[in-house]
Amino acid sequence: MSVVIQFIILIFCCGTLESAKLQSFSTSEDTQGLTLELIFDAPVKAGISYQANGNVHIIRVPGAISPVFKGRQELDHLLAISFHIKAVKGALEFWFYPRGFFGVSLLPQLDSQTIRIHAKNGYPTREQINPDGKFQVVCIDPGHGGHDPGAPGSKSVEKQIVLALSRQLRDEINQLPGLKAVLTRDADYKLKLEDRPKISDRVGASLFISLHMNSSLPQVRGYEVFYLSEKGATQTLEARLGEAHSQASESIDSSNSETSSMGAVSSSDSILQQIIFDMQQVETLNSSAVLANVLADHLKETGRRSRGVRRAAFVVLKTIDTPSVLIEMGYITNKDDEAFFVSPEGTKKVSSALAKGIYSYLKEQANHPKKTLKEPATVKKSSGNQAGAVEPVYAVYTVKSGDTLGTLAIRHGVRYSSILAANAGLHPDKLFVGQKIRIPVLNE
Ligand SMILES: [Zn+2]
């Protein structure tokens, strides 16, 4: 009798093994998250487990095979989540790696041949965070996280310093009228560079600010504010790459052979090229330039050394329509800079300077709603040996207390770069009350 029973079980097992083939695999994404549908050609059962070590959710389908996917297969086109399909002995496994505020659940099966898995997106939507549209949302992005520690210091690492600073900045911003702040990561986990601006977009941020610490020779210190470069990115980057941050991989995957440890792109990058020729992006770039200068100005009140405002083609800044900056707050390899950022007083000083800068930028924007920037007006020269050639028209402006080139650019609706171009030798950090500068007059 017992021989017969064993025989039947064997038949059942073998039948399942041979017939439960994965036939199709589809994903759909909406604001709630992501749903995966796995359709097999025979009845299957699945179980879900979670491994805290590695932060991975595993859906196991015993007895299933996949003729479609061989070995380890990564699908990674989703918002802040990736998963692998693995063929293991006697089963198929679906490994989910949530990088943000995600929960993963196995939904009731539609029928015995279909498995549905839902990964819930825990980031708020713009409607959730700002239901009446009364707030302006600031997205703060603490660099690195998880397996990517960023630059190492003597008693700290970049990912910790920038997270502490970002939390403090969020709290400061949340106390300001009309503003709300959201972090791209509020814990120590991996977050892909490309997903960070997506989170900013999801929460409907008015601006995006990515915080980092730099590394270099011990004597180098101070802060630098970056916005996206559409030109000359390679020179800037080559110089930067030789300089610093060589330890601080922005890539979440260490096997990824990105030439740039800064997660930057080359100027030949086709997406970047497309963005540049998009006029919307030119306006955004101008706003980013203004924001960068406003923040750099406010950081002066921390009494620390400014290394200026620069441009670089950072992936994390490639947003389509949100003014974005990346700030290298200081050098973690410099004793004074590190001590400053490890201390609560230092964190407090920097975050309140940034909060004030963000507030003044957004207030200025609100008072002077963004308009399409026109080209500077020109007139024909009526005399001289170049008669008939055109020359730009300028208005002379007398600098008042509190003016920055950034706020002047917003107020007059001109590009930051065109004010610089109109004033040979003008240094953005050296603006004096009473100084006369030329502001381009724009076409009607
Ligand atoms: Zn960094």
- Angle among Cα 364, 286, 400 to the nearest 5 degrees reads 45
Could you tell me the pLDDT band of residue 202, with boundaries at 50, 70 and 90? confident
Asked if the 126-367 domain carries CATH number 3.40.630.40, the reply is yes
How far apart are the CA of 168 and the centre of ligand 1, in A? 18
Instruction: Identify the DSSP state of 131.
Output: T
Token pair of 441 as six digits: 């007059």
Ligand 1 centroid vs 101 CA: distance in angstroms?
22
Cα(27) to ligand 1 centroid in Å equals 33
Q: Can you tell me whether residue 40 is helix, strand or coil?
A: strand
pLDDT at 196 over 90: no
Task: Map tokens 């030109």 to a residue.
Answer: 231
**pLDDT on residue 249:** 29
Q: pLDDT higher for 271 or 279?
A: 279
pLDDT value of residue 97: 79
What angle, rounded to 10 degrees, do the helices at 158-174 and 344-367 form?
50
**Distance from the CA of 192 to the center of ligand 1, in angstroms?**
13
* Residue 9: per-residue pLDDT: 36
Which whole number is the average pLDDT over 87-110?
A: 78
Cα(56) to ligand 1 centroid in Å equals 25
**DSSP H or E stretch at residue 23:** strand 22-30
Residue 8 in this model has a pLDDT that exceeds 50: no
> In percent, how much of the chain has pLDDT > 90?
35
For the segment 57-66, the average pLDDT, to the nearest whole number, is 90
Q: How far is the CA of 437 from the centre of ligand 1 (A)?
A: 36
DSSP string, 50-91: EETTTTEEEEEEET-B-SSS-S-EEEEEETTEEEEEEEETTE
Count Cβ atoms below 10 Å from residue 399 Cβ, excluding itself.
Answer: 16
- Average of per-residue pLDDT values in the chain: 77
Q: 3-class DSSP state for residue 353? A: helix
| Length, in residues, of the chain | 444
Crossing angle of helices 158-174 and 335-342, in 10° steps, is 50
Residue 5, φ and ψ in degrees, nearest 5: -60, -45
Q: Read off the DSSP letter of residue 420.
A: H
CA–centroid distance, 218 to ligand 1, in Å, is 17
- Output the CA 188–ligand 1 centroid distance in Å: 14
Cα-to-centroid distance, 215 and ligand 1 (Å): 9
State how far the Cα of 156 lies from the Cα of 424, in Å rounded to an integer.
Answer: 43
CA of 326 to the centre of ligand 1 (A): 9
pLDDT in tens, 114-136: 998 888 777 888 898 999 999 99
Question: 2-121, what's its fold?
Answer: Immunoglobulin-like (2.60.40)
Distance CA 337, CA 50 (A): 40
The residue ranges of every structural domain in the chain are: 2-121, 126-367, 378-440
pLDDT, residue 304, reads 93
List beta partners, residue 226. Answer: 310, 326
Q: What is the pLDDT of residue 264?
A: 39
Residue with tokens 């921390």: 302
The amino acid occupying position 260 is: S
For ligand 1, the distance from its centroid to the CA atom of residue 142, given in whole angstroms, is 9
The torsion of the CA quartet 177, 183, 187, 193, rounded to 10 degrees, works out to -170
Q: What's the pLDDT tens digit per position in 371-388?
A: 555 666 777 766 666 667
297 Cβ contact list (under 8 Å, min separation 6): 357, 404, 406
Query: Both tokens of residue 367?
Result: 């008072």
Q: Residue 214 C-alpha to ligand 1 middle, in angstroms?
A: 6
pLDDT number for residue 18: 54
Which CATH code fits 378-440? 3.10.350.10
Ligand 1: centre distance to CA 289 (Å): 20
Is 60 exceeded by the pLDDT of residue 235?
A: no
Around Cβ 39, how many Cβ atoms within 10 Å? Answer: 17
Q: Is 190 helix (H, G, I), strand (E, B) or coil?
A: coil
Question: What is the three-class DSSP state of 326?
Answer: strand
Is the model more confident about 192 or about 46? Answer: 46
Q: In whole angstroms, what is the distance from residue 371 CA to residue 373 CA? A: 6
Ligand 1 centroid to Cα of residue 117, in Å, is 34
Q: Is residue 223 within a helix (H) or strand (E), and if so which, with residue range? A: strand 223-228
Q: How many angstroms does the Cα of residue 308 sit away from the middle of ligand 1? A: 17
* Cα 138 to middle of ligand 1, angstroms: 20
- The mean per-residue pLDDT over the stretch 145-158 comes to 93
Q: CA-to-CA distance for 443 and 379, rounded, in angstroms?
A: 11
Structure tokens at 35: 């749903």
Predicted confidence at residue 322, as pLDDT, reads 86
Q: How far is the CA of 94 from the centre of ligand 1 (A)?
A: 31
Cα(179)–Cα(387) distance, integer angstroms: 53
Among 183-192, 313-322, 395-404, whose mean pLDDT is lowest? 313-322
Q: Which of 43-47, 187-191, 303-307 has the lowest mean pLDDT?
A: 187-191
Q: How far is the CA of 329 from the centre of ligand 1 (A)?
A: 10
**Distance, CA 283 to ligand 1 centroid (Å)?**
26
What was the pLDDT predicted at 261? 33
Residue-wise pLDDT for 314-370, tens only, equals: 777 766 578 999 999 999 999 999 999 999 999 999 999 999 999 999 998 877 765
Core vs surface per residue 194-210: b (16+ CB within 10 A) or e = ebbbbbbbbbbbbbbbb
- What is the rounded distance in angstroms from the CA atom of residue 80 to the CA atom of residue 282? 27
Cα torsion for 371, 373, 379, 380, to the nearest 10°?
-140
Question: Is residue 283 pLDDT above 90, yes or no?
Answer: no
Percentage of the chain lying above the pLDDT 70 cut:
74
Please state the rounded mean pLDDT for residues 61-86. Answer: 75
| Radius of gyration of the chain from its Cα atoms, rounded to whole angstroms | 27
3-state DSSP assignment of residue 210: strand
The answer to whether residue 298 scores a pLDDT higher than 90 is yes
Q: Output the CA 375–ligand 1 centroid distance in Å.
A: 36
Mean pLDDT of 34-62: 88
Q: Quick one: the chain helix, strand, coil %, rounded to 5?
A: 30, 30, 40
Residue 355 Cα, ligand 1 centroid: separation in angstroms?
A: 21
pLDDT score, position 141: 95
pTM for the predicted model, two decimal places: 0.68
Query: What's the gap in Å between 339 CA and the centre of ligand 1?
Result: 18
Give CA–CA dist 101/90, Å, rounded. Answer: 32
Which of 204-208, 216-220, 349-353, 363-367 shows the lowest mean pLDDT across its residues?
Answer: 363-367
- Say what the pLDDT of residue 305 is: 92
